[in-house]
A and B are shown apart, each in its own frame.
Chain A
Amino acid sequence: MDIKLKVDASGLSCPLPILRATQGIKTLQSGELMEVVATDPGSVKDFAAWASSTGNALVEQDSANGKFRFVLRRK
């Protein structure tokens, strides 16, 4: 998977992971991938809501050791 941008939102509280992701994805071209890592447990539902509202696709997500990882494709 060709990830163009990695955003580390570890340690950040709501709504900063979403705001950092928004700033990040705006730097990408349509179809490019961004990876976001967050530790905020609320981010799991928040990224799904954000993806559904913006139309950017949540193509992959997993969690390990208290870290939540999201791969998003710019619409």
Chain B
Amino acid sequence: MTAEATSKPKKLCIIALSGDLEKTWASLIIASTAAAMDIETSIFVTFWGLQSFVKDKKRITGENIMQKMLSFMQRPGMSHRKTSKMNFMGMGPWMMYQLADKYNASKPKELLAMCQELGVKIYPCQMTSDLFGIKREDLIDGLEETVGAATMLQLATDADSTMFI
């Protein structure tokens, strides 16, 4: 056993703000690999990043017309992410998924399952949940409790590395 492995575990905190396909994908690659390396990993999901963790089958979220319009224009769910560039009505993501299959790369949902298996803690943001009208039951199972900026800052300042994605 090496000296570094006997010391206290390293910690990583990811702040997932973006809901873009490639950024969500990168967050999940980093988080699953970190957990595989015995790094205690937490992801704080906020703003568009929160949308990725809404159940796929949930089409419209929110209570008032503005919240419903937002979810209508920007479909929530991990399977409905758009690329930040060259989305072309879904052609971009479709091609990226085809390429992932061709090159045996894992896709976001597989990485998410891996994160959950390896104990990555995913914290939804309270304020953006309220802003978008996203209820707890709209979110996928297995997430931590909904928290605010202070908890996120505690996670970030306690971590050896913090990433804002």
Instruction: Name the one of A11, A13, A50, A52 contacting B36, with C-beta atoms under 8 angstroms.
Output: A50
Interface residues of A in 1-54 (CB under 8 A from B): 11-16, 18-19, 21-23, 49-50, 52-54
**Contact at B106–A16, with CB atoms within 8 Å?**
yes
> How many of B's residues come within 8 Å of A, CB to CB?
20
A22 → chain B closest CB, angstroms: 4
For A40, the closest partner residue in chain B by CB is B104
B17 within 8 A of A: no
A58 → chain B closest CB, angstroms: 11
B34 → chain A closest CB, angstroms: 9
Q: Classify chain A's interface size.
A: 10 to 19
Main secondary structure of the interface of A (DSSP, over half): helix
Provide the bound-state CA to CA distance between A13 and B118, in Å.
19
**Contact at A53–B5, with CB atoms within 8 Å?**
yes
For A49, the closest partner residue in chain B by CB is B37
For A9, the closest partner residue in chain B by CB is B104
Given A12-B104, A16-B106, A19-B106 in contact, is the A55-B32 Cβ separation under 8 Å? Answer: no
**Contact at A75–B36, with CB atoms within 8 Å?**
no
B29 within 8 A of A: yes
Q: Number of contacts between A and B (CB, 8 Å)?
A: 53
**Contact at B1–A15, with CB atoms within 8 Å?**
no
- Specify which chain A residues have a CB less than 8 angstroms from the CB of B29 in the assembled complex: 14-15
For A56, the closest partner residue in chain B by CB is B5
Provide the bound-state CA to CA distance between A52 and B4, in Å.
8
Provide the bound-state CA to CA distance between A23 and B10, in Å.
20
Provide the bound-state CA to CA distance between A66 and B10, in Å.
33
**Contact at B105–A55, with CB atoms within 8 Å?**
no
Q: What would 21 A/B residue contacts be, using CB atoms closer than 8 Å?
A: A15-B29, A15-B32, A15-B33, A15-B36, A16-B104, A18-B37, A19-B106, A19-B114, A22-B36, A22-B118, A23-B117, A52-B2, A53-B38, A53-B39, A54-B36, A54-B37, A54-B38, A55-B1, A55-B5, A57-B1, A75-B1
